[in-house]
């Protein structure tokens, strides 16, 4: 996923049933962790699941309480957390660390880890080792790779090793330098066939989920029909089984949001207002009643001790001045 203005794809899907129908169902409402089996059941029943990007334990805890089933510790953290110019700058160690943090904050969520740029493209053995780090050190449930059919062999090796994989197809932000920027794909029949064929081949190779980004609705519909695993949409329309959005977009914290990822709330303004109020309090030195006290006898003892120390030092203060 990308936070670039032109194509960061994130879409909240429309339910396939009438309003309130999903709420009436008790399927998968029993306590317990969200797993790949959970998502497969959702796919079979037509019940949608929600995914959000997340980068820390505190936020993960609140998102899980809200009912978000899947959390993506995404390489978008490079932009929205570290302030870097693109997702390709996401450090591997940093992503492993935040993935573990998200899982600690929401142990019952299915946590998806983004494998960053060049952590899996150069060599299959290195890719397996890096994926294993996300699974062990990062406690990830599944790793996401931005791939096409040329990665079928790697996906198959990961599946054989017991590593669950999300195959990210369609628009792939890690390819932006090659493509000359972010762009949607699948607007021609040739491109659409490529996206669909990539998804089918990767699922057949062992990918447990497919994430499709920035494609027309009609292309996503045909992809969903042909892929035998749950599909997460990222700017791909309502046919997908799950939907993902960049959390900062949802909360109105980014400078710009694409039309398909409009904020549900605008938290940027209240956050700025709260910070301004704090600045004003500090400048006026109005911090309210102080919560900590020292017993008068203890204070007298402290003052006597400090006075004795000053006398033994010839009146010099600890800072080198005179008392």
Q: Which residues are catalytic?
A: 213
Question: How far apart (Å, rounded) are the C-alpha atoms in residues 57 and 40?
Answer: 26
Question: How far apart (Å, rounded) are the C-alpha atoms in residues 32 and 25?
Answer: 17
List CB contacts of 287: < 8 A, sequence separation 6 or more: 281
How big is the CA angle at 180 (ends 211 and 144), to the nearest 5 degrees? Answer: 20
Question: How far apart (Å, rounded) are the C-alpha atoms in residues 113 and 55?
Answer: 10
List CB contacts of 107: < 8 A, sequence separation 6 or more: 33
Assess contact for 172 and 202: CB atoms under 8 A: no
Question: How far apart (Å, rounded) are the C-alpha atoms in residues 159 and 150?
Answer: 16
């Amino acid at each position: 996923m990308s936070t670039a203005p032109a194509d960061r794809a994130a879409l909240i899907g429309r339910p396939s049933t009438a309003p309130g129908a999903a709420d009436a169902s008790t399927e998968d409402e029993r306590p317990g962790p969200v797993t790949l089996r959970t998502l497969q059941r959702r796919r079979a029943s037509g019940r949608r699941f929600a995914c959000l990007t997340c980068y820390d334990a505190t936020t993960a805890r609140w998102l899980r309480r809200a009912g978000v089933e899947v959390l993506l510790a995404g390489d978008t953290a490079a932009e929205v957390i570290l302030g870097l110019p693109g997702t390709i700058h996401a450090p591997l160690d940093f992503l492993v660390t935040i993935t573990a943090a998200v899982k600690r904050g929401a142990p019952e969520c299915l946590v998806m880890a983004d494998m960053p740029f060049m952590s899996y493209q150069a060599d299959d053995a290195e890719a397996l080792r890096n994926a294993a780090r996300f699974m062990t050190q990062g406690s990830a449930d599944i790793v996401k790779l931005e791939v096409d059919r040329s990665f079928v062999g790697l996906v198959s090796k990961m599946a054989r090793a017991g590593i669950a994989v999300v195959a990210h197809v369609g628009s792939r932000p890690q390819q932006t330098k090659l493509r000359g920027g972010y762009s949607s794909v699948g607007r021609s029949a040739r491109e659409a066939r490529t996206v669909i064929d990539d998804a089918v081949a990767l699922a057949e190779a062992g990918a447990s989920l497919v994430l499709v980004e920035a494609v027309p609705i009609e292309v996503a519909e045909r992809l969903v029909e042909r892929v035998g695993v749950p599909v997460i949409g990222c700017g791909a329309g309502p046919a997908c089984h799950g939907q993902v959005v960049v959390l900062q977009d949802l909360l109105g914290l980014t400078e710009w949001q694409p039309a398909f990822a409009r904020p549900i709330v605008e938290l940027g303004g209240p956050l700025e207002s709260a910070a301004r109020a704090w600045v004003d309090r500090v400048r006026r030195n109005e911090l309210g009643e102080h919560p900590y006290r020292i017993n008068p006898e203890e204070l007298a003892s402290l003052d006597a001790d400090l006075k004795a120390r000053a006398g033994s030092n010839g009146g010099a203060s600890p800072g080198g001045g005179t008392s």
